[in-house]
Amino acid sequence: MDPQPSNAAAAELELKGVGVSPGIISGPAFVLAPEDESVVVRDIRPADVPHELQRYEQALVATRQQIRDLQHRMTESLGKESAEIFEAHLLMLEDRAIYDEIVRMLQHELKNIEYVLHEVTNRYAQALHDLQDEYLSERAVDVRDIARRLLHNLAGRSSSALSELAEPCIIIAHDLSPTETAGLNKSKVLAFATDLGSPTSHTAIMARALGIPAVVGMHDVSLRVTAGDPVLVDGQHGLVFVRPVAERIERYERKRKAHAAIRLRLGELRDQAAMTRDGYNLPLAANIELPADADTAVLNGADGIGLFRTEFLFLNNVPSEDEQTEAYLQVARRVAPATTIIRTMDIGGDKFISHLKMPQQVNPFMGWRAIRFCLAQPEFFKMQLRAILRASTLKNVKIMYPMISNVKEVIEANRLLAEAKNELTARGEPYDENIEVGVMIEVPSAALTADLIAPHVRFFSIGTNDLVQYTLAVDRVNELVTDLYEPTHPAIIKLIKHTIDVSHDHGIWTGVCGEMAANPMLVPLLVGLGVDELSVNAPGVPLVKDVIRSLRYSQAEELGQAALRSGSADEVLHNCHTLLAQIAPEILELVE
C-alpha cells in the first residue's frame, strides 16, 4: 500500500451531529479528556462507618451549595425559569431512598464511601437508562452528574477543568454534564461539540439558554480532534469542520454576517402586523412551555399565545390548583388583551413524568397519554380545568384538549369541564362562563371525523408533528426513516385542507401549531390552504412574520391549489422552495 501523503493529517474534516443550539463560530479546540471513572476500593472497620458517613454528608452539603450557586448565577443571567432545570439535581441530593441505600451498603459491605456512592448511583442511573425512555435516559445523565460532583467533593478537587480556561476556545468532549454546561464562561467558551447528547438533554437546553452554539450526538468527535486544531461549528445544521480550508471559513463568515443583518432587520418587525402584501391579516401567535416564555413571545411580536404546553409545569412535582392558577394568570396578564390558549396536560409519549406513576408502555406514543390519561384521572383533570377557569377572568383565555381521536373524548372532557365550572360556582369563584374550548387535530381519525367534533368546540389547532407521524407511520426521531417523514405528502395536505374546510363550514376557525407553521418554506402553503392562525416558537415569530409580509395571498392560494392537485411530496416542496426564493430570498438563505 502506498504511504499517505505527509499532509494528510492536516486535511479538512467534516463531521455531522445534531445541532441543538444555533450559531456559527470558529476557534481553537480544547479537548476535554474523559474522566477516569474508576474508584479506589478499600476495606473499612465498623468503627469507621460514622466517619465515612460524615464525609458523605459534608460532600452533600458542598454539592448542594454548588448547585444553588449555579442556580443563582443562572437566575441572574437568564431568569428563574432557566435556573429551575437544577431543581431535579437538588431533589436527587435530598432523595431519602438513595441516602438510605448508601447507609445500608456502607454498613453491610464495609467499603469506603467513594466506592459505595459510585455503586449505588451507578445502579440507579443504569436502571433509568435501561428503561429505554428518552426522558428517563436523560435523567440518568443527571444522576451521574450529581454522583461525579459528590466524588469530586469527597476528593477535595475542582469539579471541572473548564473553570480554568485561559483563552477563548471550542470545547470538544465525550460528554458535558448539565452543571458543567451551566458553569461555562461565555467569554471563554465559544461553542461545544460532544460525542453524546440529544436535543432534549439538559445540556442542550442549557446551551440554548446561554446562547452557545452546540452540536451533540457526534459519536467520536472527541477522538478525531486534537487540542489546538482550528474548528468551525455550525450549530444550526449540526456540522463541525476540523481544520477548515480558507474558502470554507470565508463562506461561513459571509453567511454569519448575512444572518446577523437579516436578524437585525427581523427585530424591527416586532410591532408590525402579520399581513400579506395584498391586505390579508393572519394572526401569528407563539408556543410556550413555561410562564417566563411569555416575555420572549411579547418581545418577538407574537399575537398572543397559541399553545401553552402545561405539562412542563409538572416535570418536578404536581403543582397545586393555586400554583397552576397563578402560572396561567401570569401568562394571561402578560399578553392581555391578546389571547392565551392553554392546552391541558399532554403527558406520555416522549414526556414521561415519574412522580405521576404512569406505567411503562411498549408504545407510549400510541398508548395511555394526553387526553386519555386525563379522562382516566377525572379529579386530577378537573383540578387543572378549575385552575384554567380561575385564570380566565380577563376573558382572554381559551382551553384546548390534546390528542383527541374521537368525538366521545370531547364530549366527556366537556362534561368534566362543566363539573369544574359548577364546583367553582359553588365556591363563589369567578371565571369566564363563555370560555372557548378547542381541540388538537393531530390524529388522522380526528381529522377525518372533524365534522362530528366541530359542533362541540369553538376551534381546531392542527398539530402537524404528530399528524405527519401518525398518518405516515413514521417515527420522526428515528434516523433510519427520516426520509419518509414528509410534511408535504399528499395525504397530509388533504387532511389539513379537509380540517380547515370543515371548521369553516361549522363557523369555527383552525390554527396550526406544529413545526410546519414555523418552517418559512411551508408558511405560504398553509396560508394558501386557508389556515386562520399560525403559532410558532417565540424566536421564530419574526422569521414567519417576514415571510407573510413578503407574500401576496393570491400567490399562496395558487400554491395551495397546486399542492392539492399534486401527487408528489417532492413536487409540493419544490413549489414551496421556488415561491420563497421569489418573495424572500434572504429568508431562504437564512433557513438553508
pLDDT at 260: 81
Span 460-472, pLDDT tens digits: 999 998 899 899 9
Model pLDDT for residues 365-400, shown as the tens digit of each residue: 565 568 988 999 899 999 999 999 999 999 999 999
Burial grade of 4 (CB within 10 A; 0-12, 13-18, 19 or more): exposed
Residue 477, pLDDT > 60, answer: no
Average pLDDT over residues 403-415: 96
Listed in order, strand segments (DSSP E) in 219-290 are 230-234, 239-242, 284-288
Nearest to 370 by CA among 395, 347, 388, 336: 347
Q: Please tell me the least confidently modeled range out of 8-22, 241-255, 357-371, 513-527.
A: 357-371
Percent of the chain with pLDDT over 90: 47
Least confident residue range of 240-249, 295-304, 355-364, 450-459: 355-364
The correct answer on CATH 3.50.30.10 for the domain covering 10-245 is yes
Q: CA 367 to CA 381: how far, in whole Å?
A: 18
Query: Which position has the higher pLDDT, 48 or 404?
Result: 404
What's the average model confidence in pLDDT over 492-511? Answer: 98
pLDDT class of 80 with cuts at 50, 70, 90: low
Q: What is the pLDDT at residue 59?
A: 87
pLDDT digits (tens, 9 = 90+) for 531-574: 999 999 887 899 899 999 999 999 999 999 999 999 999 999 99
Which are the contacts of 151, defined by CB distance < 8 A and separation ≥ 6? 39, 114, 117, 118
Question: Beta 509-512 vs 533-537: how paired, if at all?
Answer: parallel
pLDDT attached to residue 4:
41
The predicted pLDDT at position 137 comes to: 64
| Mean pLDDT, residues 263-284 | 90
Residue 199 has pLDDT above 80, yes or no: no
The domain made up of 278-591 has a fold known as: TIM Barrel (3.20.20)
Annotated catalytic sites, by residue? 202, 513
Q: Which of 2-6, 40-44, 131-135, 202-206 has the highest mean pLDDT?
A: 40-44
Q: Of the given ranges (109-113, 185-189, 233-237, 350-354), which has the lowest mean pLDDT?
A: 350-354
Distance CA 59, CA 354 (A): 27
Whose CA is closest to 528, among 489, 502, 554, 510? 554
Q: What is the chain's length?
A: 592
In whole angstroms, give the CA distance from residue 328 to residue 332: 6
Equal CATH topology for 10-245 and 278-591: no
Label residue 291 exposed, middle or buried (CB < 10 Å: 0-12, 13-18, 19+). buried
Q: What angle do CA 176, 181, 182 make, to 5 degrees?
A: 150
| Spans of all domains in the chain | 10-245, 278-591
Across 40-49, 509-518, 544-553, 554-563, least confident range: 40-49
CA atoms within 13 A on the CB side of 57: 9
Q: 453 pLDDT exceeds 70?
A: yes
Could you give the percent of the chain with pLDDT greater than 70? 85
Of 35-39, 208-212, 522-526, which range is least confident?
Answer: 35-39
Mean pLDDT, rounded, of the chain: 85
CB-based contact 179:89 (threshold 8 Å): yes
Give me the pLDDT at residue 401, please: 97
Q: Give the pLDDT mean for 117-132.
A: 80
Q: What is the mean pLDDT of residues 339-350?
A: 80
- Is 505 exposed, middle or buried, given 0-12, 13-18 or 19+ CB atoms closer than 10 A? exposed
Tell me the pTM. 0.67
Q: Which helix (H) or strand (E) holds 560?
A: helix 553-565
- Cα Rg, the chain, nearest whole Å: 26
User: What would the mean pLDDT of 329-333 be, rounded to a whole number?
Assistant: 96
Cell of 442: 393531530
CB atoms within 10 A of CB 538: 21
Q: Is the dihedral of CA 272, 276, 279, 283 positive or negative?
A: negative
